Amino acid sequence: MLQARRAFWLGMAVLVGGYAAVAILLLATPSVANARQLARAQDSAHHAVYPGPPVPPRFAAALEATEDHRFTTEPGIDPIAIGRFVYGEITGQGDTGGATLYQQLAKMLYTNGEPSLGMEADQVALGIKLRFKYGPAEVLRLYAAVVYFGHQFYGLEAASCGYFGVPPSRMSWPQAALLAGLVYDPTIDDPLVYPAHGRQREEHVLGRLVAVGVLTQQQASRALRVPMRTLLAHAGQGCGSRAG
């Protein structure tokens, strides 16, 4: 009983401390009113098109299932993950939290650099601001416009055309899963250099789509049966060569 009571009060302290820290960070971090301008500047520097096409449902579902399955309902942060993070800091167990898509966008636009506890804390506050300034749909479009997929493909359109030779709207489920898996580490999971790693990551994303109820196990298994060489048959050709 005593141990359970201590655990309860420790949990309460973690939550109160976490939310108090977030409140302070909201005051200390800058406005995100210039997010679109920053995204446009990054795309211009990388010779990518801004704002790019709408994010297709298949890629959106694959990305959210893998990176942030509470994306449309959370307030820019995942309270459960934040609680784990603060608890880890208090107990010395390290960072066990996960960054939401809002926090990931904040990192790409505002705090890109060597990771540090202070920088990650800023990303939490900036992620909340992005959520309430722009909403999930616009944040997803900004994210897709600037995220890196490897091979100098910045943004979803460049990646879809570069890896598959089709625009994002024509991606299949296995193609969407492959790209959604790349945002975590496009070097290690590079399907052109390390096809086995790319396939493992694709399988993970398809598994997440099953877990959240977007795909059935049968649909995911069928998608996984498409050979990697078939998915990448038009890599490097771009969309122009397959127009129409």
pLDDT digits (tens, 9 = 90+) for 161-174: 999 999 999 999 99
What structural domains does the chain harbor?
148-239 (1.10.3810.10)
Mean pLDDT, all residues of the chain: 85
Question: Which has the closest alpha carbon to 212: 23, 68, 113?
Answer: 68
Contacts of 124 (CB under 8 A, 6+ apart): 22, 25, 77, 82, 103
The region of weakest confidence among 2-6, 102-106, 130-134, 204-208 is 2-6
pLDDT top residue among 118 and 21: 118
pLDDT at 24: 64
Predicted TM-score (pTM) of the model is 0.83
- The tens digit of pLDDT for each residue in 75-107 reads 766 666 556 555 555 555 555 457 899 999 999
DSSP codes joined into one string, the chain? -HHHHHHHHHHHHHHHHHHHHHHHHHHHSPP-TTHHHHHHHHHHHTT--SS-SPPPHHHHHHHHHHH-TTTTTSSSS-HHHHHHHHHHHHHT--------HHHHHHHHHT--SS--HHHHHHHHHHHHHHHHHHHHHHHHHHHHHH-B-STT-BSHHHHHHHHHSS-GGG--HHHHHHHHHHTT-TTTT-TTT-HHHHHHHHHHHHHHHHHTTSS-HHHHHHHHTS-HHHHTTTTTSTTGGG--
User: In which residue are the tokens 């994002």 written?
Assistant: 168
pLDDT at 118: 76
180-207: average pLDDT: 97
**232 in the Ramachandran plot: left (φ > 0), alpha (ψ -120 to 50) or beta?**
alpha
pLDDT at 152: 96
Q: How many residues does the chain have?
A: 244
Given a cut of 70, whether residue 205 has pLDDT beyond it is yes
18-33: average pLDDT: 69
pLDDT top residue among 65 and 85: 65
- The tens digit of pLDDT for each residue in 140-153 reads 999 999 999 999 99
pLDDT at 93: 55
Given a cut of 50, whether residue 9 has pLDDT beyond it is no
- The tens digit of pLDDT for each residue in 211-228 reads 999 999 999 999 999 999
CA-based radius of gyration for the chain = 19
206-213: average pLDDT: 98
